[in-house]
Amino acid sequence: MSLLDPAPKRAEPKLVSPDAIVRAGLCIGCGSCVAQANNGAAAMDWDAYGQKKPIGPASFMGEATEAFSRTCPFSPLARNEDQLALERFAEAPLSDPRIGRYEAAYVGAVAEPDFRAEGSSGGMVSWVAAELLRQGLVEGVAHVAPELPETGNGFFRYRISRDLDELRGGAKSRYYPVDMAGVIAQIRAVPGRYAVVGIPCFIKAVNLLREEDPVLKERIVFVLGLFCGHMKSARMIESFAWQMGAEWSEVQKVEYRLKNPDRPANWYTAQLTQRDGSARTQDWWHLVDGDWGSGFFMNSACNYCDDVVAETADIAFGDAWVEPYSSDGRGTNVVIVRSPLVHGLVKNAIGEGRLDLQPVDHEFVVQTQAAGFRQRREGLAYRLSWPKPGLRPKKRVAPNQHGIAPRRKLIYMMRFGISAWSHRMAWLAKQTGQPRLYVGWSRAALAVYHGVAYGRGRIGKLVDKLKIKGEGG
């Protein structure tokens, strides 16, 4: 069977197990299955590619239960984002098939000091979480904060912050695998009201868990979503260390996006700080895997994702990736508010001058995430039309390979291949102690990708000469 043959129809499974989700490459590593397992031996652990996966005895991994089938965010039997959003935001006055149901959308940043300077973008996530704490609407916020690698948890971990200093210490985006199993256990153990910050698939998992577990439903009272392009593996920063000349075993602190108001916001700069305090800094575009769109180190589940903007979150935040905002190094958010209560907080703060936000419509929001929507609408339809072993995901986008320009198809295929092979090549480089194996392969893969996607170099000339139709990017 060729890649271009339509996918055969397969009977829907009655129930699914964690093992089936992992084997099908659909596990994003959220930890929801471990959080609800009545099995002390179930845990989240690192796999060989630096991604988080559930592990445990066959009685956990192999057991296909109704509860798991309803709550794993990638289970074909779980409710989808449209169904969850309809239940959560039935009264929402606005809706759009790409950004979901909502009350209002805005572009701008926090005016109150110093959220914007401390945040990756306009500081809105930390501000809303802080406002929920300040107004006494929650006692704790589950979000992702730096961790010392000696702890064995990696460089970042979900934690519950209970005061403003703790919360603000966790600002900034972490493109790093984390799981929620620990914080969900803490929320179950300690009464109170909580907010959870997460990427769209994690927010879906929390909403599904809330429906399953009355204690979580009562205690998790707000979910704050981050827009999402895709999740990287932990190897990405190991690769950065190889290329930046940092001693991997000495790296203590990782910054994915150093903020510099004098440079465009979309010029990402990474910084690795070593144990002796010395730091290595490099712009992402000088790194072989630093072009976000090429898909290096992407989790395979992201190939089957259709939620770009956290459609089931009370409020969702992204970067305003359109001019003039992309060039404003201070960072600018685009925000979708879905919950009337949170909208009230936002409107009050705009009135008091604590937030500097202007209303925008859904077309503006979609424009800021144009590449993400291409990858997860047209690209997803195309990928779903390919044959796939094991469990098939059930998405809101129908499989389709017709009417997609040949160049676009090539881009989607290359991205899929780069993400799959980057894991394998980095694994090989690590096993053999030869980083150049990975770096050399990546440089070549990137050159081909840039030729196809942007018409760069000799490959680009060839693509033009062959008149392969379709837009790049």
Ligand X SMILES: Cc1cc2nc3c(=O)[nH]c(=O)nc-3n(C[C@H](O)[C@H](O)[C@H](O)COP(=O)(O)OP(=O)(O)OC[C@H]3O[C@@H](n4cnc5c(N)ncnc54)[C@H](O)[C@@H]3O)c2cc1C
Residues that bind ligand SF4 (CB under 6 A): 18, 21, 27-33, 54, 72-74, 199-201, 228, 230-231, 299, 301-302, 305, 307
- Residue 58 φ then ψ, to 5°: -60, -30
List 372, 379, 393, 451, residue binding ligand X (CB under 6 A): 372
CB closer to ligand SF4 out of 108 and 295: 295
CA-to-CA separations, 446 to 176, 452, 459, in angstroms, rounded: 21, 10, 11
Binding site partner of 37, from ligand X, ligand SF4, none, Cβ cut-off 5-8 A by kind: none
CB closer to ligand X out of 52 and 219: 52
CB closer to ligand SF4 out of 49 and 242: 49
Contact between 51 and ligand X per CB under 6 A: no
Binding site partner of 121, from ligand X, ligand SF4, none, Cβ cut-off 5-8 A by kind: ligand X
Size of the residue set binding ligand X (CB under 6 A): 35
Site for ligand X in 103-132 (CB under 6 A): 119-126, 129
**225 touches 317 (CB < 8 A):** yes
Binding site partner of 33, from ligand X, ligand SF4, none, Cβ cut-off 5-8 A by kind: ligand SF4
Distance between CA atoms of residues 206 and 216, nearest Å: 9
Distance between CA atoms of residues 129 and 72, nearest Å: 26
Binding site partner of 200, from ligand SF4, ligand X, none, Cβ cut-off 5-8 A by kind: ligand SF4
Distance between CA atoms of residues 401 and 141, nearest Å: 43
Q: How far is the CB of 412 from ligand SF4 (least distance, A)?
A: 14
Cβ contacts of residue 165 below 8 Å, gap of 6+? none
Q: How far is the CB of 368 from ligand SF4 (least distance, A)?
A: 16
Q: How far is the CB of 88 from ligand SF4 (least distance, A)?
A: 17
Query: Comparing C-alpha atoms, which of 353, 354, 312, 362 is closest to residue 335?
Result: 362
Distance between CA atoms of residues 79 and 77, nearest Å: 7
CA-to-CA separations, 205 to 31, 34, 361, in angstroms, rounded: 9, 12, 28
List 89, 106, 175, 386, residue binding ligand X (CB under 6 A): 175
Distance between CA atoms of residues 117 and 30, nearest Å: 29
CB closer to ligand X out of 20 and 197: 197
Q: How far is the CB of 198 from ligand X (least distance, A)?
A: 5
Question: Site map for ligand X, 272-301, x if CB under 6 A?
Answer: ------------------------------
CB closer to ligand X out of 60 and 156: 156
DSSP secondary-structure letter at 391? P
- Collapse the DSSP code of 107 into the 3-class scheme (helix H, G, I; strand E, B; otherwise coil) and give the result: strand
**CB contact burial 247-270 (16+ within 10 A = b; e otherwise):** ebeebebbbbbbbeeeeebbebbb
Binding site partner of 29, from ligand X, ligand SF4, none, Cβ cut-off 5-8 A by kind: ligand SF4
**310 touches 226 (CB < 8 A):** yes
CB closer to ligand X out of 354 and 394: 354
Question: Which residues here bind ligand X, judged by CB under 6 A?
Answer: 119-126, 129, 143-145, 170-175, 178, 197-199, 226-229, 231, 317-319, 321, 331, 333, 369, 372
